[in-house]
Structure 1
Amino acid sequence: MTEAFARAKINLTLHVTGQRPDGYHLLDSLVVFADVGDTVRAELAERLSLEITGPRAAELPASDDNLVLRAARAMGGQAARLTLEKQLPVASGIGGGSADAAATLRALAALWKAPLPDAAAVLRLGADVPVCLAERAVRMSGVGEILAPLKAPLPSAWLVLANPGVAVPTPPVFKALTCRSNPPMPDNLPDWATAEDLADFLAGMRNDLEEPAISLAPEIADTRAALAAQPGCLTARMSGSGATCFGLFSAERPARAAAEALRAAHPGWWVEPGRMTG
């Protein structure tokens, strides 16, 4: 049996800079990961199958178009028994499905001792799959296929992820976007020595999908505000197309205290603290 961890992907920034003739949007995004996520396990078997377990299993059917099975077919579709332990909310803006697909590719490559699919095949699985497969902090542009490593390591920091229990599919959020040609981030990103430096930089950047998502799910604004109000939170913003928001913290203790406070105040929310990785 082989196993791969599917870390949550966090868009610290998400600038929508244009739209191609085929409808795909051009992005400029600072992407990091958190040590919170799903787990994919793969075993040799007589046929290809998928079982979904974990606390979020009821939200995700093991249907033929599940990204885990699509990733397995991209690897050649040999026989394997796949198990997805689902911890991350579905349709939540933190790349859960894409991270699961990337983890499936890694697990099956190890199980079958086979190479990963080429870049085009990986991108066909979804715009976020390439960055989830790389699983490192990058500047992501194009439609998600251009990954530029950061010039300096990330500062030590923690993230608190909070989702109000609202699934926000990506297409309606893009449809609600009024301007599709927005400024990108600066050409040269600064070096961030501390989490405070990173927060100062983020204060001047955007997630262009945040307001469209809030127009569809006002609970996102409440979630962002609740994170921002926690002691030690340096900045709070929505990730991806929502509805998950993140709070940036400089250390573990205030992050865990904030997560406990949010869980107590909002028992219906999904809330997880995690170290920023990548």
Structure 2
Amino acid sequence: MKKVNFLQTILLSFIIVIMVAAFSPSKGEASTTYTDHIGALVNSYSRYSHMPLSVNVMGFNVTHGFSMPLNVNTYCSGSDPRNVYIEYDLPNDGSQWRVLGTLVYGRMTLADSPRALNSAQSLDVNILRTTPGTFSGVSIGQAVNAANAAKSSADTAAARVWYSGRSLTGNENAVADIAAYIRNTQLPGLENKINNMETTINNMQNIDNTPLMVDVQTISGARATSAKTIEAIVTTNKSGPLTYSINGGSYASLPSDNKVSLPVNSSGSNAITVRVKDESGNIGSKTIIIRRL
């Protein structure tokens, strides 16, 4: 039996929210500015000038397993060598942080006018810091535990979404049980009725409502006879199979040659009515007067 799957959808959304929280530091948290020496730029300060071309530094919270980009200021100090430093902020969350990235400095010759980029030098950033304070976000471990608990609850609820066949009284009037009862016992009957209705409508649409036109003529063309019967031919505007009735009698199959025998029971004029019926139930009739001599 198919189970309701919207609970799994809710579970997935809940887990996503938890994981987003786990990978995000708390807003409004106090922070501390750190300064670290990264390395030195080669060549003489008196002959060259340097400028940062790119600064790409990320902070990785090793304790709780999330990362965030850092706003980094970089500057140089000293002449030979030119020492490079970075300044950055980390939240006071009582965690261990790994600061990783790359700085690229361009070198220009002072004698050139205008100054043009002569070469470039990259410096790797790899710093381990332990911050003060207390972590106020959601750790990976907490997120996993919460997700597992949510999954367990959702699985339990999903397992209950079925109709047990019990009468719906008392505590059994659970939403899931009622919904499943309607789905499994009421909707199939309704669906069958709809299907039957569609079948009936289709049959009605396929019914031939064309009026049945009937003509009856004696084969000889005579309208009088001394016999008790006379042969006639019945023509219609439709092809068979057709049935016919004479003077309100029972219906019989109309012969393929459309020839029938008409009774002439009384002396004088006899009104003989021939009725013809097609497969759709359409009935046409013709009355012919035959005089018995």
Would you call these one fold, judging by a TM-score over 0.5?
Answer: no
Structure richer in strand, relative to its length: 2
TM-score, normalised relative to structure 1: 0.16
**TM-score with structure 2 length normalisation?**
0.15
- Greater Cα radius of gyration, structure 1 or 2: 2
Higher relative contact order, chain-length normalized (CA < 8 Å, sep 6+): 1
Specify which structure has the higher proportion of helix: 1
